Amino acid sequence: MRIKEGSGAPEQVRKRVVEDMDKSYFPVKTIIPSTEIVHDRVMLELFRGCIRGCRFCQAGYVYRPVRSRNPKLLAEYGKAACEDSGYQEMTLTSLSSTDYPCLLELCDELLDYCAPRDIGLSLPSLRADTFSMNLMQRLQRVRKGGLTFAPEAGTQRLRDAINKNLREEDLLQSCRTAFSGGWSGVKLYFMLGLPTETDEDVLGIADLARKVYQVWRESTPNRARGVRVTVSTPGSVPKPHPAFQWEAQLPVEEYQRRVNLLRDALRRDKSITYNWHDPQTSYLEAIFSRGDRRLADVLEWAWEHGAKFDAWSEYFDYQRWMDALAACGLDGDFYAHRERGRSEVFPWCRIDPMVTTGFLWRERELCYQSQTTPDCRSKCSGCGANRLLTGGVCNG
């Protein structure tokens, strides 16, 4: 690692990787807060990294390569964490939990412990192409939670462009399986403002949601309970390190236009609920996601002028942040709405996640050709991350 001359600091900081997750520390004994918190449950991390290559996903790139934990160890950790904390829910977490090779084996062992104690076992944000009847039957042994799928885009062309590697028929079959098994609600997550997105792609979200509703009608003879299909669309926020780090974010006005287009398309569908995110907070997120050191002054100015709990909508003041940018002589559009060139030097280039810039740029080019890249388990795409491991091989 090169040292910057005269500073004593390395010119580039390479990320550190725990190679053997079975030997890494797992927090079985945790501090139990006296108030309700977001993750008010046992969080059992199955593996780190992700075999998928979704081109918008920062975590999917920076946490490469994939390193799994042994299912026997995980079962011991989960039981011990429940015993110590008294929590009545356990979540099997990772970037793509249904890609864990020993998932069914682990669920069986945990459910033998959880079911007699009425401890819920859940898997957040399931992949629709890996959801199965076997898995569903296991999850409903204790109590049914909600089901969440993230198609991300409304058309196959756009899903291919972002490398989601999910087919419409996979999603509909998973919903059919769930509805046949007694589930009466499903949440669908999409993003608005992805690169190459058109109005046809936006309206495709409404079309896909209606198809899910139709699957419920076909799969549920007794419709007394009804169905809840919830569509959510946050705005796409380009982040450092994934393939879309060069992209521009949609302007606030254009995002709102697409929200209105989708809302109007779903207006008559009473069984479909549509939620969308505030475009102003997404704009600020884009500014700070790819910002440089000059934004430190913006943060300090906003704090000095009352920005304390802005993550809560009742305290959020958009104008205060615009005033902060203006007071520091900065333009938010420079950070959020500007497409970068390949040769631009980014503020985050001093951090080396070991995924090469050449690989990321090729992935960006494939996006504009609507071409997919196989997942790591099918074929190594040569991103460079496995150079961190002994022997250069990951277990994806």
**Which domain CATH number covers 65?**
3.30.750.210
Domain shared by 152 and 270, yes or no: yes
Domain shared by 178 and 267, yes or no: yes
Q: Please indicate, yes or no, if residue 323 is contained in any of the structural domains.
A: no
Are 296 and 247 spatial neighbours (Cβ–Cβ below 8 Å)? Answer: no
Strand partners, 93: 45
Domain shared by 89 and 184, yes or no: no
Helical pair 318-327 and 295-304, crossing angle rounded to 10 deg: 130
Q: Report which residue type is found at 109.
A: E
Place of tokens 């799994």: 68
Domain shared by 30 and 171, yes or no: no
State yes or no: pLDDT of 116 exceeds 80.
yes
- The total number of residues written for the chain in this structure: 396
Rounded to whole angstroms, what are the CA distances from 144 to 115, 181, 230, 296?
Answer: 12, 10, 17, 45
Helical pair 168-180 and 199-219, crossing angle rounded to 10 deg: 30
CA–CA dist 116, 61 (Å, integer): 39
pLDDT value, residue 148: 87
CB count in 10 Å sphere of residue 336: 24
Q: Please indicate, yes or no, if residue 164 is contained in any of the structural domains.
A: yes
Domain shared by 160 and 95, yes or no: no
Domain shared by 112 and 221, yes or no: no
Q: What is the DSSP letter of 84?
A: H
Q: Please indicate, yes or no, if residue 373 is contained in any of the structural domains.
A: yes
Domain shared by 64 and 94, yes or no: yes
How sure is the predictor about 25, in pLDDT bands with cuts at 50, 70 and 90? very high
CB count in 10 Å sphere of residue 104: 14
The greatest distance separating any two alpha carbons of the chain, rounded to the nearest whole angstrom, comes to 75
Domain shared by 349 and 370, yes or no: yes
Q: Please indicate, yes or no, if residue 38 is contained in any of the structural domains.
A: yes
At 208, is the secondary structure helix, strand, or coil? helix
Q: Locate 149 and state its tokens.
A: 């799928």
How sure is the predictor about 144, in pLDDT bands with cuts at 50, 70 and 90? low
Domain shared by 104 and 179, yes or no: no
Q: Please indicate, yes or no, if residue 305 is contained in any of the structural domains.
A: no
pLDDT value, residue 75: 97
pLDDT (tens digit per residue) in 299-351: 999 999 999 999 888 999 999 999 999 999 999 999 999 999 999 999 999 99
CA–CA dist 394, 376 (Å, integer): 9
CA 390 centroid distance within chain: 28
The boundaries of the domain holding residue 266 are 146-282+344-378
Domain shared by 222 and 351, yes or no: yes
383 vs 387, residue with greater confidence: 383
How sure is the predictor about 393, in pLDDT bands with cuts at 50, 70 and 90? low
pLDDT value, residue 180: 83
Q: Please indicate, yes or no, if residue 73 is contained in any of the structural domains.
A: yes
State yes or no: pLDDT of 202 exceeds 80.
yes
Q: Of 104, 139, 174, which closes a domain?
A: 139
Q: Considering the chain, what percentage of its residues have pLDDT values greater than 70? A: 93
Are 148 and 124 spatial neighbours (Cβ–Cβ below 8 Å)? Answer: yes
pLDDT value, residue 127: 81
CA–CA dist 242, 318 (Å, integer): 28
Domain shared by 175 and 271, yes or no: yes
Phi, psi of 197 (to 5 degrees): -65, 140
Helical pair 103-114 and 71-85, crossing angle rounded to 10 deg: 30
pLDDT (tens digit per residue) in 319-329: 999 999 999 99
Q: Of 80, 110, 139, which closes a domain?
A: 139
Number of structural domains (the chain) is 2
Q: What is the DSSP letter of 150?
A: E
pLDDT value, residue 35: 80
Q: Locate 322 and state its tokens.
A: 């615009």
Q: Please indicate, yes or no, if residue 174 is contained in any of the structural domains.
A: yes
Domain shared by 165 and 276, yes or no: yes
Q: Which helix (H) or strand (E) holds 200?
A: helix 199-219
Q: Of 139, 174, 202, which closes a domain?
A: 139
203 vs 390, residue with greater confidence: 203
How sure is the predictor about 141, in pLDDT bands with cuts at 50, 70 and 90? low
Q: Please indicate, yes or no, if residue 10 is contained in any of the structural domains.
A: no
How sure is the predictor about 134, in pLDDT bands with cuts at 50, 70 and 90? confident
State yes or no: pLDDT of 145 exceeds 70.
no
pLDDT value, residue 247: 98
